[in-house]
Every structure is written in structure tokens, then in C-alpha cells.
Amino acid sequence: MGCRAACIVTDLLFEVKIEDEASRGMLVKYIERLEAQTSNLRDDDMMITMSEVGLRELADFTKDYLDETLLHFRVVGELVWRPFSQVNEVFASQWIDELIQNERVISYYQPIVDTECTIFGYELLARFHSPEGEMIYPDEAFAAARARGRLYALDRLCRITAVRHAAPLINVKAFINFVPTSIYSPEFCLQSTVAVANQFNIDPYQLVFEVVETDKVEDVEHLKTILRYYREKGFHYALDDVGEGFSTVELLAELQPNYMKLDRSYVDGVSSDTKKQANAELFLTKAKESGSVPLAEGIETKEDFEWLKSKGYELFQGYFFGKPAPSPL
């Protein structure tokens, strides 16, 4: 299996599914005109494959002549069909293609410390910028990538950039985020990450790949495959906030994360909030039972740090120790 269309930045191809015979009949003659504007058109039973130019034309045609609720679309390579009403989100997010193509991303370093406030490692956080140099927030960039079917391409760019930024670090860990739902085949999708690590002679043991949105992962077997690949290559991995989908000790033991991160929503104010304290202690119990190192992120006060340390947390991250910066401390 090779790389799907979303792996690299090229002109997008779309599939449109028409769920009504009468509507399809209206498109027969229109398709002939559409063919003159795109060489990538294929009419296959109840589905049409077209370029973005063709999709824009179809969107305009649909406004006047079709019920858009009868149409669904997806970027070629995606598994899930989307309502045609969302097609404008794809057009509005076209700027992400240029950002990926020109690799307008760098990594910032945020320190992770131990109980003695000695630097254990850094989380490498993606920072994007426009052609004019203005900051683009990660949430905005990844939302655009999802809309365009470019989640893998953006995630891959961030991973490779982070690995390169890990090269100057000596005797400390580098925590690197990745989106598991963007990776369809570890042996193909992650080989570039491994290649960059080898290129810079980075010891795999130094890199910790952190699952983003752990609690939103639905395909646990797929996640296991990804983590197994990382483990076989000698890398460590971490799970961020462990939500409902990972609530059992048995599953956590099966995933065998090297690190588990307590989300900032349970950390901020934990020293004076009994409900957050209960969650933090439950999380700590799960981490210990699964053999994982517990890491609390989002610490902004000495009181929260001292409380978590007293309970047995081993690693800490947050503005109290240092904000993300373009160079390590």
C-alpha cells in the first residue's frame, strides 16, 4: 500500500455521491460541460470524481438546481462522507495548502521538569505563521487541515519539524505530538519521521511521541498498531488526558504508555479543589498500575506543584516552570 492522496500537497481530488436518480439525471448534461473545465472528472454510477475547480462549479450549480441534502462529498482518500453543505469550508481553508507546501512552521520548546525542578525534557510545540509573518494558532491550522483533507500532511510536517528541533537537545527528552487518526499505516506514514531521526543521529530513546486527543480515539486497535511501531523502533510514547475511552486499567496496561499526562483542566487549582484532587489521585493510581510515569501539565502556581508532588507525581509542565520559547532554556 502506498501513500494516500492526503500524504503530500497536490491538487485535491474529490468524490461526490448523488443519492437521488432524478438529481443525477439533471447532472448528465452538466457533466459534459464540467468535463471541459477539468481533466480529472470521472462519472462512475452514482459517484463523480472531480478536481477542486469542478467542485466549485458543482457547488454553484447546486445552489440553483439541486437539493444539496441529496449530495455528499469527500476528499479522495478519506473514509468518511461529508454533507455537501460543508463544501465551502474546504474552499475557505485553501490557505493551509500553501502553508504546508512552504513549511511555514517552527517548534517552540516548553520545559518539563522533575520534582527538583531540574529539566527532564521539552515538549516541542508547533507554531505557524502567515506569509506576512503573523502568528497562526495551531487550532486554526489543524481545523483548516481537517477541512481540506490535509490532516496527515500537516501532522507529518509538524512531526518532522519537531524531530529536527530535537537534534540540539542533549541528555533530555523531546516530547513530540502526533494525531493518531491522521496515520493510516505506520510503516508508510511514519517512515519519514524515523528517517529524519536517523539523519540527525538522534537516539530513539530521546524521543517521546505523544498521542494528541487520547480521549477522542475510537479505533483502539489502530492506535495499538501505531504505538507498537514506535516501540519497535525504540521510541517512547505518552498518552495525554486519559478519558472515557481509556478508563480501564486493563486497556492502559495493554497500551503500555511510558508516560501519562494529566490534563491542565484537572491541574489548575487542584491544591484547593477537592473534585480535581479526586481526579488527580485516580489518574495517578491508573498511571502506577499501568507502569507509566505520571506527568501533570498546565501548572501555574507553586501550590498546585507542591500538592501534586506530595501525592507522587514525578514530572511537571506549565507556565510556572517556563512558557514555550523559540530556544531551550
Which of 3.30.70, 1.10.10, 1.20.1260, 3.30.40 is the CATH number of 5-91?
Answer: 3.30.70
Q: What is the mean pLDDT of residues 61-81?
A: 88
Alpha helices in 202-301 (DSSP H): 220-232, 249-255, 264-267, 274-289
What is the Cα–Cα distance from 72 to 92, expressed in whole angstroms?
18
- What pLDDT is attached to residue 182? 78
- Whether the predicted pLDDT of 140 surpasses 80: yes
- What pLDDT is attached to residue 235? 93
What is the Cα–Cα distance from 26 to 329, expressed in whole angstroms?
64
Tell whether the torsion through CA atoms of 268, 280, 314 and 297 is positive or negative: negative
- What pLDDT is attached to residue 247? 60
Strand bridging mode 236-239 / 207-211? parallel
Residue 162 contacts residue 110 (beta carbons within 8 Å): no
The domain segmentation of the chain, as residue ranges, is 5-91, 95-317
Band of residue 63 on the pLDDT scale cut at 50, 70, 90:
confident
- What pLDDT is attached to residue 35? 61
Q: Residues 262-285: pLDDT tens digits?
A: 989 899 999 999 999 999 998 999
Q: What is the mean pLDDT of residues 241-249?
A: 59
Q: Residues 89-133: pLDDT tens digits?
A: 999 999 999 999 999 999 999 999 999 999 999 999 999 999 999
Band of residue 168 on the pLDDT scale cut at 50, 70, 90:
very high
Domains 5-91 and 95-317 share a fold: no
Residue 165 contacts residue 106 (beta carbons within 8 Å): yes
What mean pLDDT value characterizes the chain? 86
Q: What is the CATH number of domain 95-317?
A: 3.20.20.450
Band of residue 48 on the pLDDT scale cut at 50, 70, 90:
confident
Q: Which of 145-149, 214-218, 231-235 shows the lowest mean pLDDT across its residues?
A: 214-218
What is the Cα–Cα distance from 282 to 98, expressed in whole angstroms?
44
**In this structure, how many other beta carbons lie within 10 angstroms of the beta carbon of residue 228?**
13
**In this structure, how many other beta carbons lie within 10 angstroms of the beta carbon of residue 152?**
22
What residues have CB less than 8 Å from 169, skipping those under 6 apart?
Answer: 121, 122, 206, 328
Q: Residues 152-165: pLDDT tens digits?
A: 899 999 999 999 99
Helices 138-148, 151-166: inter-axial angle, 10-degree rounding: 140
- Whether the predicted pLDDT of 28 surpasses 90: no
- What pLDDT is attached to residue 320? 98
Alpha helices in 108-248 (DSSP H): 138-148, 151-166, 186-189, 191-199, 220-232
